[in-house]
């Protein structure tokens, strides 16, 4: 598998140098792998720190900036960051108002963020945590590590970020973040496996006429393999999987997310099908975001995230944001 | 330094450092295989993760060699936590830190003390990760290893034989994860489809225990 | 080749429905294939119309909005739009101040936009045209259709769009657009071929150990095939190819563009290498944009565009823009 | 309507409409092959482009059948311009519109008039696209076709034979593009690497001319 890299070992460091070169509004510590919004800490404002394995760009580094994250900690590809990174980030962004850790529910992320929280608290930083676990493909939570965190992370980071930007206190920011997570569900589909630099090839085999339903964002296989489906059929399946678990009683935010290698042209066509299904199911849509936001390297495929949004969530979603990966209304 | 302790002799800092050397070499050699195991039921990084951690640990310990077996284990554990990431970093880090702390400041410890330390470490892993035996994790190699070591020591074996028994049990435990359905970690997302694949973490755990056995055998311990 | 589509025939129409669903600020005429900024025509302001084959998203539809295009006309995949589309778009955006057609230099685009200009002028719309031809991979222009238009299109649309937004008259907007084009050069590389929905598979064969140097954005093969290179080597080759043709005497705008399937993680690493080469060649960089902006469906690969920018170009580049694909400083 | 004009009889609207039918059928059948030719030296859309245009043209002409041969050609040309896009849309559109305009309002024209119309159309293509013979474009089929038709008519051939000669020459011309290096259109970007591939536009041009010959033959023209 050909990649645009030097050697697998330096992929993350190389990318961090590129982020530093492209975004003067970010302070990038390449050695310690922390991306901080310039000017942090911000007096009286809660700091938002997220992080996770690399390979999901623009998540999380691309969401650092005004109205969203204050810092991000990229791990190795598909490997959660280490506690030292988050502890360092927390120290860099804490103004005294405390820091919210936004953690996707994977064993590695949970353990490493927990250890980081201990380190940060030892240094006197007040830490709150929110666990994102929106992926309805993971059923049967008694027999699993629980639902994975996927697309809802964007909504959590956006909405909690807007609240922090407005000066909301830590418990309020954390409560909003939890509300967004509890109001969100996702489902993802892969048309191809992705290739990690370390492995140098696809992480699983997916024959040409088949697709994986219920994939995560780490190149893991899904729960089920089926003969290839049309865009409309995939929309039906994905939206119904979500609506089985969440019957929205308010208009939804819809994220139609590309896994990396699916052309935007196809994603927009898929977004039209998602809208069709939601209309058929009588679910009103307040906002729709289409693009590659929570990716899985070069995987072809897509995911749908729905977040039922009351007026306050909608207002915070619409609030100005200016980051490399998400920017509007400034 | 105690290069070749006699049979049954205590385990000292040099012994643990030789283990680290052996373990780092084995992890390097098996990294691709571990990543391969982590592909069908994981995210294809376990070998890379382990290699990164053991390279860092070996370097750190070489630069500032701690002088008790407990301190070496703690140092290795801390390096794993600070460099591995993923699930295995905090888990293996906790295993070794807890074990090292249990050994305290002793300059050399007996096989039984060492067994108790390992048990403390393994309990730490179970507590941190919330997994139980049979969940298809590294614990499925670690618990049997400690049990077998105990049994051998109770039966009068020396250090080398007891660790050899532990290694054999860890190996068996790792192989026995194949038919299991994962309930913890990333493989659990696969549900039924996790069946039929050997757990990468159990496999690396067996490698680490085997490295202890090899260290003892080469030392004639 | 698996694609997230219904049937190849409806790919463009499906995408237009999705664009309509996601972007309430755009008026999308799905039947006639015209995307117009809501509220157009804008009193006293020049209208900017671009278009081209589909498959390069977000170009051009994603660049319709405040401070950039007033309308875009998507053709079939990799096929220039038909004159009727541009004539319709021109009528929709003309406030009496005239309309600038931004045309990438491909035979099909040039012919169809020329015919559209005739139709629009017959209807009394004043039309100016700018031809974008920045691709240094096309040498020997006596023996070719001339240089292709690629990444520079983004700079032309952004800067001319900012001038139009400020109320500059048609001749000034057109002159700026031409200046940007003349100040810009691009070079692109493919690691894989792309697959078009109509063909259902790769448009050319590219063995695993090789790459194509000097590709366009339509899945055409490049000028040269070589054994696979590292990110650093590709940066050296691409930047040097550009600098052989353009010796900037002002700081450059740099676009590090993904062709579609190359992960953002890799693109940022490549951006770091591009910066390294530019520093070695003593070319100062004013701005760097990294992402998938002018794509070629699911092709893996990248292109570099450099635009030497005097203070006026830089000011217009930095001016606020709010479109689905590019947004800042609002 | 003049369903089967005698040998040498004039070319009328029905004739051109039968040609359109034949051409649309052939384009449909050969679409995949044309796209295939457009892959190594183009962007893999020529067949899809031509099909889209001829489907639209056939539908438009069926809905409102023009009643002179010139008007049918103009209508087909306009449909191609409005539906094909790409390079071939305006070029083929211009070919047929120019040819149709040259025929004026005549309800039926002779083979010589038709030849003159084709020549006007081909000149229009050359003027619009700026290509010359040997540049590896549709002109490499079109110019030889008109020349061969002229020569046949000058030698006393009837319509069917003259168009058959045109078709043969167009075919030959298309095949002869293979060794050429492209200087116009998308294939020109490839430089030397365009050598060794037959031009898709020259190939479709030969199909369209052959459809004229087939129409005439079937009509016994
Ligand atoms: N909760 C847990 N308890 C014990 N071991 C676990 C747990 N979760 C995962 N593991 C072990 O970690 C291994 C995976 O490690 P690694 O691939 O390095 O991390 P990640 O899963 O984050 O990519 C699994 O094979 C398993 O043995
Ligand atoms: N300047 C030109 N003059 C004449 N014919 C041309 C010219 N440019 C391209 N063509 C013809 O058009 C054909 C390609 O048509 P098509 O694939 O439909 O359009 P595009 O190249 O825009 O994708 C070429 O094979 C060639 O025969
Ligand atoms: Mg991992
Ligand atoms: Mg793993
Ligand atoms: Mg084309
Ligand atoms: Mg073509």
pLDDT tens digits, residue range C41-78?
A: 999 999 999 999 999 999 999 999 999 999 999 999 99
* For range A118-122, the mean pLDDT: 95
Would you call A140 and B45 a contact, using CB atoms and an 8 Å cutoff? no
Residue B4 within any structural domain of the chain: no
Q: Are residues A268 and A202 in the same domain?
A: yes
- Residue C140 pLDDT > 80: no
In the C/D pair of chains, how many CB contacts fall below 8 A? Answer: 115
Q: How far is residue D97 from each of residues D92, D111, D117, measured CA to CA in Å?
A: 8, 18, 10
**Average pLDDT value for chain A:** 95
Chain B interface includes A105 (CB < 8 A): no
Cα–Cα dist C186/C243, whole Å:
10
Q: Which residues of C touch D81 (CB under 8 A)?
A: 82-83, 115
Flag whether B touches A (3+ CB pairs, 8 A cutoff). Answer: yes
Provide the ipTM.
0.93
Residue A328 within any structural domain of the chain: no
Residue D221 within any structural domain of the chain: no
Which is nearest to C197 in space by CA: C17, C10, C31, C16? C10
Host domain of residue A26: 10-183
Q: Which range is least confidently modeled, A35-49, A143-157, C107-121, D88-102?
A: A143-157
Q: Which residues of chain D have pLDDT under 50?
A: 1-7
Q: Are residues C140 and C80 in the same domain?
A: yes
Q: Are residues A246 and A196 in the same domain?
A: yes
Query: Domain count of chain C?
Result: 2
Q: How far is residue B69 from each of residues A76, A212, B13, C251, measured CA to CA in Å?
A: 30, 48, 4, 59
**Average pLDDT value for chain B:** 94
Residue B70 within any structural domain of the chain: yes
Cα of C55 to ligand 5 centre, how many Å? 11
- pLDDT band at A220, cuts 50/70/90? confident
Q: Are residues C272 and C311 in the same domain?
A: yes
Q: Are residues A167 and A188 in the same domain?
A: no
Residue B49 maps to which CATH number?
A: 1.25.40.340
Query: Domain count of chain B?
Result: 1
- Residue B5 pLDDT > 80: no
Which is nearest to C72 in space by CA: C110, C97, C114, C101? C101
pLDDT greater at residue C142 or residue A196 = A196
Residue D112 within any structural domain of the chain: yes
Residues of C acting as catalytic residues: 56, 218
Q: Ligand 1: does its nearest atom lie under 6 Å from the Cβ of B202?
A: yes
Cα–Cα dist C4/B140, whole Å:
41
Phi-psi label, residue A206: left if phi above 0, alpha if psi -120 to 50, beta otherwise: beta
Question: Which chains, if any, share at least 3 CB pairs under 8 A with chain B?
Answer: A
Q: Compute and round to an integer the Cα radius of gyration of chain B.
A: 16
| pLDDT in the model for residue C224 | 86
- Residue C104 pLDDT > 70: yes
- pLDDT band at C142, cuts 50/70/90? low
Q: Are residues C71 and C136 in the same domain?
A: yes
Host domain of residue D131: 11-215
- Residue C240 pLDDT > 60: yes
- pLDDT band at C3, cuts 50/70/90? very high
Buried b (16+ CB within 10 A) or exposed e, C32-47: ebbbbbeebbbeebbb
Residue C159 maps to which CATH number?
A: 3.40.50.10440
Q: What is the pLDDT of residues B157-195, one digit of tens each?
A: 999 999 999 999 999 999 999 999 999 998 988 888 899
Flag whether B touches C (3+ CB pairs, 8 A cutoff). Answer: no
Q: Are residues A91 and A36 in the same domain?
A: yes
Which is nearest to D91 in space by CA: D141, D143, D129, D51? D129
pTM of the model: 0.94
**Which residue in this structure is represented by tokens 């499906």?**
C14
Q: How far is residue C277 from each of residues A289, C61, C64, measured CA to CA in Å?
A: 36, 33, 33
Q: Are residues A40 and A163 in the same domain?
A: yes
Residue B221 within any structural domain of the chain: no
Chain D interface includes C218 (CB < 8 A): yes
Contact map slice: A 179-218 vs C, CB within 8 A:
191-192, 208-209, 211
Residue C323 within any structural domain of the chain: no
Instruction: Give, as one character, the DSSP assignment of residue C257.
Output: E
Residue D163 within any structural domain of the chain: yes
Chosen domain end from A183, A214, A246: A183
Percentage above 90 pLDDT, chain C: 90
Cα–Cα dist C135/C144, whole Å:
12
**Average pLDDT value for chain C:** 95
- Residue B87 pLDDT > 90: yes
What stretches of chain C adopt beta strand conformation (E)? 26-29, 34-37, 47-54, 71-77, 99-104, 127-132, 184-190, 210-213, 224-227, 252-258, 285-291, 301-308, 321-322, 327-328
Of C107, C198, C221, the CB nearest to D185: C107
Percentage above 90 pLDDT, chain D: 87
| pLDDT in the model for residue C141 | 61
| pLDDT in the model for residue D190 | 84
| pLDDT in the model for residue D5 | 42
Q: Are residues C60 and C131 in the same domain?
A: yes
Phi-psi label, residue C321: left if phi above 0, alpha if psi -120 to 50, beta otherwise: beta
Q: Which range is least confidently modeled, A45-59, C151-165, C215-229?
A: C215-229
Question: Kind and range of the H or E element at A48?
Answer: strand A47-54
Q: Ligand 2: does its nearest atom lie under 6 Å from the Cβ of D86?
A: yes
| pLDDT in the model for residue D10 | 85
Going by their DSSP bridges, the two strands C99-104 and C127-132 should be labelled as parallel
Residue D220 within any structural domain of the chain: no
Which is nearest to C149 in space by CA: C113, C119, C194, C95? C113
Q: Are residues A210 and A179 in the same domain?
A: no
| pLDDT in the model for residue B1 | 36
Residue D168 within any structural domain of the chain: yes
- What DSSP line would sit under A62-93, residue for residue? GGBSBTSBSEEEEEEETSPPPHHHHHHHHHHH
- What's the distance, Cα to Cα, between the start and end of chain B in Å? 15
| pLDDT in the model for residue A258 | 98
Chosen domain end from C159, C183, C207: C183
Which is nearest to A197 in space by CA: A298, A86, A310? A298
Alpha helices in chain A (DSSP H): 11-22, 83-93, 107-122, 152-165, 170-182, 231-243, 264-280, 311-318
- pLDDT band at A140, cuts 50/70/90? low
For residues C111 and D92, the answer to whether their CB atoms sit within 8 Å is no
Q: What is the pLDDT of residues D117-132, one digit of tens each?
A: 999 999 999 999 999 9
Point out the ligand 1 atom lying closest to the alpha carbon of residue B137: 27
| pLDDT in the model for residue B191 | 84
- Residue B2 pLDDT > 70: no
Non-local (6+) Cβ contacts of B155 within 8 A are none
Point out the ligand 2 atom lying closest to the alpha carbon of residue D41: 25
Which is nearest to D221 in space by CA: D106, D111, D147? D111
Cα–Cα dist C151/C65, whole Å:
19
- What is the spatial order of strands in the sheet that A34-37 belongs to? A26-29, A34-37, A71-77, A47-54, A99-104, A127-132
Classify burial at A230, counting beta carbons within 10 Å of its beta carbon; exposed 0-12, middle 13-18, buried 19 or more: middle
Contact map slice: A 148-207 vs B, CB within 8 A:
148, 196, 198-199, 203-204
Q: Are residues C266 and C226 in the same domain?
A: yes
Chosen domain end from C129, C154, C183: C183
Cα–Cα dist A86/A129, whole Å:
12
| pLDDT in the model for residue A61 | 98
Which is nearest to A39 in space by CA: A95, A116, A90, A78? A95
For residues A71 and A100, the answer to whether their CB atoms sit within 8 Å is no
Cα of B142 to ligand 3 centre, how many Å? 21
Q: What is the pLDDT of residues C17-32, one digit of tens each?
A: 999 999 999 999 999 9
Q: Are residues A86 and A217 in the same domain?
A: no
Would you call A111 and B129 a contact, using CB atoms and an 8 Å cutoff? yes
Cα of A198 to ligand 4 centre, how many Å? 12
Q: Cα dihedral angle (B66, B68, B72, B75), rounded to 10 degrees?
A: -60
Non-local (6+) Cβ contacts of B116 within 8 A are B102
Instruction: Give, as one character, the DSSP assignment of residue A2.
Output: -
Q: Compute and round to an integer the Cα radius of gyration of chain A.
A: 19
Residue C268 maps to which CATH number?
A: 3.30.1180.20
Residues of chain D whose beta carbon is less than 8 angstroms from a beta carbon of chain C are: 35, 39-45, 47-49, 52, 81-91, 128-129, 181, 183-186, 188-191, 193
| pLDDT in the model for residue C145 | 80
């Amino acid at each position: 598998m050909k990649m645009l890299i030097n050697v697998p070992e330096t992929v993350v460091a190389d990318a961090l140098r590129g982020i530093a070169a492209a975004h003067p509004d970010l302070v990038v510590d390449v050695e310690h792998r922390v991306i901080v919004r310039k000017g942090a800490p911000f007096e009286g404002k809660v700091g938002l720190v997220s992080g996770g394995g690399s390979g999901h760009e623009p998540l999380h580094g691309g969401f650092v900036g005004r109205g969203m994250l204050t810092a991000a900690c990229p791990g190795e590809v598909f490997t959660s960051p280490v506690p030292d990174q988050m502890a360092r980030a927390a120290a860099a962004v804490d103004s005294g108002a405390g820091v919210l850790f936004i953690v996707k529910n994977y064993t590695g992320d949970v353990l490493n963020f927990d250890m980081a929280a201990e380190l940060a608290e030892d240094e006197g930083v007040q830490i709150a945590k929110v666990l994102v676990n929106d992926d309805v493909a993971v059923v049967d939570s008694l027999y699993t590590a629980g639902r994975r965190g996927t697309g809802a992370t964007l909504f959590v980071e956006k909405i909690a970020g807007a609240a922090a930007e407005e000066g909301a206190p830590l418990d309020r920011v954390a409560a909003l973040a939890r509300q967004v997570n509890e109001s969100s569900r996702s489902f993802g589909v892969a048309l191809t496996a992705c290739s990690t630099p370390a492995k140098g090839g696809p992480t699983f085999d997916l024959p040409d006429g088949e697709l994986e339903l219920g994939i995560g964002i780490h190149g893991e296989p899904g729960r089920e393999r089926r003969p290839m489906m049309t865009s409309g059929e995939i929309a039906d399946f994905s939206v119904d999987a979500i609506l089985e678990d969440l019957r929205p009683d308010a208009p939804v935010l819809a994220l139609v997310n590309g896994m990396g290698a699916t052309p935007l042209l196809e994603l927009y066509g898929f977004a039209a099908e998602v809208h069709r299904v939601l209309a058929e199911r009588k679910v009103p849509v307040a906002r729709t975001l289409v693009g590659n936001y929570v990716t899985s390297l070069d995987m072809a495929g897509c995911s749908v995230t729905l977040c039922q949004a009351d007026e306050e969530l909608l207002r915070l979603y619409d609030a100005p944001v200016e980051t490399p990966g998400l920017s509007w209304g400034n | 330094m105690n290069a070749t302790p006699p049979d049954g002799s205590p385990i000292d800092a040099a012994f643990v450092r030789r283990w680290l050397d052996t373990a780092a070499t084995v992890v390097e050699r098996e990294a691709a295989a571990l990543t391969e195991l982590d592909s069908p039921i994981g995210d294809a990084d376990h070998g890379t993760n382990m290699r990164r951690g053991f390279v860092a640990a070996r370097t750190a310990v070489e630069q500032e060699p701690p002088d008790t077996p407990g301190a070496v284990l703690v140092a290795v554990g801390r390096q794993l936590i600070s460099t591995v990431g993923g699930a295995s970093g905090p888990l293996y880090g906790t295993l070794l830190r807890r074990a090292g702390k249990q050994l305290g400041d002793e300059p050399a410890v007996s096989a039984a003390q060492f067994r108790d330390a390992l048990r403390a470490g393994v309990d730490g892993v179970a507590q941190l990760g919330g997994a139980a035996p049979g969940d298809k994790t590294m614990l499925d190699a670690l618990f049997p290893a400690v049990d077998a070591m105990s049994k051998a020591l109770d039966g009068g074996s020396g250090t080398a034989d007891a660790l050899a028994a532990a290694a054999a049990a860890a190996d068996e435990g790792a192989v026995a994860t194949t038919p299991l359905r994962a309930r913890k970690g990333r493989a659990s997302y696969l549900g039924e489809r996790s069946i039929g694949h050997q757990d990468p973490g159990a496999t690396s755990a067996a490698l680490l225990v085997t490295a202890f056995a090899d260290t003892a055998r080469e030392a004639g311990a």
